[in-house]
Amino acid sequence: MEQRFEYERFKAVSPAKIRDMIAMAKEQLTMAYAPYSGFYVAAALLCRDGSVYTGCNVENSSYPAGNCAERTAVFKAVSEGKREFSCIVIMGGNAGKVEAYCPPCGICRQVLREFCRPSEFFVILAKSEEDYRVFSLEELLPESFGPEFLTE
């Protein structure tokens, strides 16, 4: 995946905070419940107030009932009253071994879109604390549909 992101646009979050969030996601990866796919995913979502919510994928014997890591993190945060987010770290791999960047699925991109401006929210695909790529949500979900279409 080509890095098209310009770092100047991503001023809100320090490299130290990103490293902390990647460490949190790495720990969260051990909680992934993925007995069917064997593909473990974890996310760490940074709220505008500085708090971080982690999430992992939670699969189900009725396969479509499973939930992705990113949505777990978003739903945890929203259910705790948070609705303003800065960025999300995502990492994953087979059996929890992270060997490649793990981009968010289309449904998760749309769920993230609900609570942000796509040009101001950043998706960080991490392999480790030192190796990650940053994209705006706008790059990952161009010309997107959002709540303003229903309220304006």
Give the nearest distance from C-beta 78 to ligand THU in angstroms. Answer: 17
Tokens of 78: 């929203």
Q: Which of 6, 8, 59, 70 is catalytic?
A: 70
25 lies in the site for ligand THU, by CB under 6 A: no
| Per-residue CA distances from 151 to 81, 109, 147 (Å) | 21, 21, 7
Residue (of 42, 41, 4) closest to 21 by Cα position: 42
96 lies in the site for ligand THU, by CB under 6 A: no
69 lies in the site for ligand THU, by CB under 6 A: yes
105 lies in the site for ligand THU, by CB under 6 A: yes
Residues 43, 6, 47, 72, Cα dihedral to 10°? -20
Residues annotated as catalytic (active site), given as ranges: 70
- Interface residues toward ligand THU, by CB under 6 A: 34, 37, 39, 41, 57, 59, 66, 68-70, 104-105, 108
